[in-house]
Structure 1
Amino acid sequence: MNRYFATVARGLESIAAQEIEKLGGKEVRPDFTGVHFSGDKALLYKVNLWGRTIFRVLMPIKEFPCHNREQLYREVQKISWSEYLQPLNTLAVNCTGGNRQLNHTHFSALEVKNAIADQQRQQTGKRSSVDVQNPDLLINLHIYQNRATLSLDSSGDSLHRRGYRPAMGLAPLKETLAAALLTIAEYSPNLPFFDPLCGSGTLPLEACLKSLNIAPGLYRKRFGFQTWRDFDADLWQEILQQAQNSQLAELPAPIWGSDADKKVIQQAQINAEKCGLEAQISFSQKQLTEVEPIADSGIIICNPPYGKRIGDVAELGEFYKLLGDVFKQRFKGWTAYILTGNKELAKRVGLKASRRIPVYNGSLPCTFLKYELY
């Protein structure tokens, strides 16, 4: 059993913890922007492959007191790096956090790299090269107060980058947040799903992946653990095969999205094609005034602009009022959710929210509003 730490967006820790428990994680404990858990190598692979709300899965290899540069260097040198890395392998180091003496993440990461390279030169006369794009070993240093944790990053590129989305709208929702919103909204595959402001299609696509039981990691080209020295290729192939065999062929209920912008609908269609779901999801260019339900009941989730990044707040007030009117007049029997970062705009919807759930969109505090449409 190894200890692991999954990094997640602020506020999504409990959702990620539930995911990890369902995948078989032991000793699962949510923390600030992360989840501690234990498990074997198979679990590490599964969490990377199946995690819908997780950014990275780290494997801590050493925790130590870390007051300054000299102590950081000494502690890193105490690790036997030949267990994880040979001079012919490339490496990269990321750093988060800091303290009074170590207050520059790039400098701290450089110190870790120097300590590893110096050890390699002393032992073999050679050292690993740095490759910040696709290293064979990605190392994570986290400094909090006067303690440091050094981990191996098993994910490589952030897991929110599924690999299916080359085309993005102006202010795209992260796939991990979209997946979390579906969980918060208690979305079930037997419910029709609609996003009337779908942009490049993230919410409908994540709903489709969940509904068809498709592991989001299947669209990625590689994970960090695949270049680790102890990578078990046979075990990985077995886990991949299980994931592929568990997919459903058809949606239990329709999923569709619309948007007034023709270009972003084209982007959404490209993204659906990238993950082989173009025949499953329906995307169409429609003004909000033109949308109509295709079922008597279902779930709506949308992420309208809220003036922080796109759109003007004064003009958006009328748009939010129209959104509420369309919901009230045309979608009786449905449940609607709106993600917004502007409380004044939320009031313009003109409907009484049955729930107000605080979430973060990046660093922006938002509210996820639930409306029962009678």
Structure 2
Amino acid sequence: MNQYFATVARGLEALAAQELEQLGARAVTPGFCGVAFEGDRPLLYRINLWARLPFRILVKLKEFPCRDSEELYRGIQSLDWSNYLTPDFTLAVNATGKSDRLNHTHFTALQVKNAIVDWQQTQHGDRSNVDAQTPDVQIGVHIDRDRCTVSLDSSGSSLHRRGYRPAVGAAPLKESLAAALIQLSGWQPEQAFYDPLCGSGTLPLEASLKALNIAPGLFRDRFGFETWPDFDPILWDALLREAKDSQLDRFSASIGGSDRNGEVIEQAISNARSCGVGDRVWFAEMDLAEVSAPAASGILLCNPPYGERLGQDSDLGAFYKLLGNVLKQRFKGWTAFVLSGNKELSQFIGLKSSQRTQVYNGALPCQLMKYELY
């Protein structure tokens, strides 16, 4: 069994742990901004392909005492890097954390890079080049209380970048956060799903992928593990075929979104085509005042502006009051979830929430408010 660590947004650790267990992870342990777990190589590939909440899946190589730069250098050189990196592959090092004597991540990363390429020169008479943007092998080091953990990043670019969304509007939700909000709402594909403030469509599209059992990783060009020396292309092809064969053809209930901005609706439609659901999910240009329920019941989930998205001169208080009135008057029988990063604005909704869950949109603390609409 290998030791892995999934990095996730703050506050979503327990939710991500549930997802990893459902995908077959063992010894799952939530931590701060991440979840440790164990598994084999098929699990590593499967989680990169299927997990909707994590940013990156790291493979732990070694942990060692690291009180200063010399111990860091020696600890890195104690690894047999030919197992992970040959001189014809490019590398990059990402350093996080700090200690009293290693308190600058750029220096830490440089020291790790030097230790690796010096080891390669000694062993092979050649060394890897550095590629900070698209390396073949991304190495992570984390310094915490005089200990260093060395990992390989199996994901490459962050998993939240699904690859289906080249067109985005202003202040878009990360796909991973959208998936987490859907999970927190308890929405099931048998229920209607609607976002009346959908922007470029991230929430309805993530709901669509879940409804059709489409693996979010299918839209990516590549994963980090595909350039590792031990990459198993036969196993990977089998997992890709399995994922494609398990997709469903149609929704059980309506999924859609609307927005008053016609340009972002065009972006949403383009993104829907990119992920193969353009003929199933619906998007409409519609002002919030014109919105009505598309079904007798369902889940409404939205991320209204809570700062600069409508401009400094806009009366956001009136906008939130309108949202509350629309929910109360036109969505009886529905359950609504509103993500808000502004407590004062959320009071203008004028409805009593039955539940509030704290989540983070980037570094901004937000509340996901639940409203039962009778």
State the TM-score bracket (shorter-chain normalisation). over 0.9
Q: Distance in 2 between matches of 1:309 and 1:119?
A: 50
Tell me which residue corresponds to 1:339.
339
SS of the residue 2:10 aligns to: coil
Counterpart for residue 155 of structure 2:
155
- Paired position in structure 2 for 1:271: 271
Matches within 5 A, 1:220-239: 220-239=220-239
Aligned to 2:257: 257
> Residues 313 and 14 of structure 1: is their aligned pair in 2 closer, same or farther, counting only changes over 3 Å?
farther
Flag as ranges the 4+ runs of structure 1 deviating above 3 A.
Answer: 308-314
1:318 is the counterpart of 2:318: yes
Deviations for 1:278-334, whole angstroms, at most 9, x for unmatched residues?
101111110001111121101100000111665449710000000000010111000
Give, in whole Å, the separation in 2 of the partners of 1:84 and 1:106: 22
- State the partner residue of 1:174: 174
Count residues with an aligned counterpart: 374
CA distance in 2, matches of 1:109, 1:308: 36
Q: Is contact 1:306–1:313 with CA below 8 Å preserved after alignment?
A: no
TM-score, normalised to structure 2, is 0.98
Q: Distance in 2 between matches of 1:297 and 1:356?
A: 21
Give distance in 2, aligned partners of 1:338 and 1:81. Answer: 48
> Which residue of structure 1 aligns with residue 71 of structure 2?
71
Matched residue SS, 2:79:
coil
1:113-154 CA-partner distances (Å, limit 9, x unpaired): 110001111122210011122211110111112111000100
Per-residue deviation, 1:16: 0.7
Alignment of 1:56-205 (within 5 A): 56-205=56-205
Contact (CA 8 Å) 1:320, 1:348: kept in 2 or not? Answer: yes
Question: Secondary structure of the equivalent of 1:64?
Answer: strand
* SS, match of residue 54 in structure 1: coil
Q: Deviation per CA, 1:130-185, whole angstroms, max 9, x where unpaired?
A: 11222111101111121110001000000000000111111010111100001110
Aligned-pair distance for 1:67? 1.6
Spell out, residue by residue over 1:257-279, the C-alpha distance to the aligned partner (whole angstroms, 9 max, x if none): 00011111111111111111110
> How many angstroms apart in 1 are the aligned matches of 2:345 and 2:372?
19
Distance of 1:313 and 1:10 partners within structure 2: 32
Q: Measure, in 1, the Cα distance between the counterparts of 2:49 and 2:313.
A: 39
1:294 correspondence with 2:298:
no
Q: Hey, what's the Cα distance between the residues in 2 that align with 1:268 and 1:73?
A: 49
Q: What is the rounded CA distance, in whole Å, between the counterparts of 2:123 and 2:140 in structure 1?
A: 23
Contact 1:167 1:267 in 2 (8 A): yes
Amino acid in the other structure paired with 1:354: S
For residues 18 and 8 of structure 1, the distance between their equivalents in structure 2, rounded to whole angstroms, comes to 13
Q: Structure 1: which 5+ residue stretches go unaligned?
A: none
Q: Percent identity?
A: 60
Secondary structure of the equivalent of 1:149?
strand
* C-alpha separation in 2, matches of 1:325 and 1:31: 40
> 1:194 & 1:352 partners in 2: Cα distance?
21
CA–CA separation in structure 1 for the residues paired with 2:97 and 2:56: 16
Q: Is residue 162–residue 220 contact of structure 1 (8 Å, CA) maintained in 2?
A: yes
Residue of structure 2 equivalent to 1:28: 28
Is the Cα contact below 8 Å between 1:307 and 1:313 reproduced in 2? no
8 Å contact kept, 1:49–1:215:
yes
Aligned mates of 1:200, 1:289 — CA distance in 2? 19
Q: 1:66 to 1:48 in 2, by over 3 A?
A: same
Distance 1:313 1:350, change over 3 A: farther
Cα distance in structure 1, aligned partners of 2:69 and 2:100: 11
